[in-house]
């Protein structure tokens, strides 16, 4: 019975013996099973204290530097754009209904990221309503996202290849 009580208090016995009832503490000293259990927990803890992360191989740094340069070169398909493309299109080219709303929100949040594209439409009729303008922007952005998605696929293939090298 008291052995079970000791088991429940093993951690406290190790880290904060004062918090453990006196009868439990005195039992541990007398009971071989309990004292062994405490000793093994102690050993585990000291092993964890001594454990250190293994040193990376000498090539790790240079490989990492190469990867970073590659990532910087492929900057146009940045993480955010990749995420947008992934979220909005996945494998499906057509806009999903929810995606349209999300896209509109992203355009608002994204600010002028594609502003150049949105304003480059020449001679938009003055009478076009704001809604139609928005829809046109959505359409333009949809094309951009499709291109980004294609870029993303390429980048993925590239990174798959290079991770095999590592
Ligand atoms: Zn015991």
Give the whole-angstrom CA distance, residue 9 versus residue 26. 13
pTM, to two decimals:
0.33
Q: Is the pLDDT of residue 7 over 80?
A: yes
Spacing, Cα 46 to ligand 1 middle (Å): 23
Spacing, Cα 34 to ligand 1 middle (Å): 4
Spacing, Cα 104 to ligand 1 middle (Å): 67
The tally of CA atoms less than 13 A away on the side-chain side of residue 160 is 6
Spacing, Cα 49 to ligand 1 middle (Å): 27
Spacing, Cα 1 to ligand 1 middle (Å): 8
How crowded is residue 23: how many other Cβ atoms within 10 Å of its Cβ? 10
* Contact in structure between 9 and 24 (CB atoms under 8 Å): yes
Q: Residue 51's pLDDT is what?
A: 74
pLDDT tens, residue by residue, 12-50:
988 888 899 999 999 999 999 999 999 998 888 888 777
Spacing, Cα 40 to ligand 1 middle (Å): 14
Spacing, Cα 17 to ligand 1 middle (Å): 16
pLDDT tens, residue by residue, 66-109:
887 777 666 555 666 666 666 665 655 455 565 666 666 666 66
Domain ranges of the chain: 2-50, 58-165
* Contact in structure between 156 and 83 (CB atoms under 8 Å): no
Spacing, Cα 39 to ligand 1 middle (Å): 13
pLDDT tens, residue by residue, 109-122:
665 555 455 554 55
State the sign of the Cα–Cα–Cα–Cα dihedral 32, 37, 38, 44: positive
Spacing, Cα 48 to ligand 1 middle (Å): 25
Spacing, Cα 43 to ligand 1 middle (Å): 18
Spacing, Cα 27 to ligand 1 middle (Å): 6
Give the whole-angstrom CA distance, residue 63 versus residue 76. 22
């Amino acid at each position: 019975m008291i052995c079970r009580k000791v088991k429940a208090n093993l951690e406290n016995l190790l880290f904060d013996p004062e918090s453990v009832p006196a009868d439990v503490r005195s039992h541990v000293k007398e009971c071989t099973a309990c004292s062994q259990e405490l000793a093994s927990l102690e050993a585990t803890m000291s092993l964890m204290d001594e454990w250190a992360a293994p040193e990376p191989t000498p090539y790790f740094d240079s490989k990492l530097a190469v990867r970073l340069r590659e990532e910087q070169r492929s900057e146009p398909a940045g993480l955010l754009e990749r995420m947008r493309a992934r979220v909005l299109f996945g494998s499906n080219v057509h806009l999903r209904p929810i995606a349209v709303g999300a896209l509109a929100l992203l355009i608002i949040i994204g600010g002028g990221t594609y502003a150049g594209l949105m304003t480059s439409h020449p001679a938009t009729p003055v009478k076009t309503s704001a809604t139609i303008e928005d829809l046109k922007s959505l359409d333009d952005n949809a094309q951009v996202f499709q291109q980004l998605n294609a870029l993303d696929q390429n980048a993925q293939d590239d990174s798959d290849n290079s991770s095999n090298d590592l």
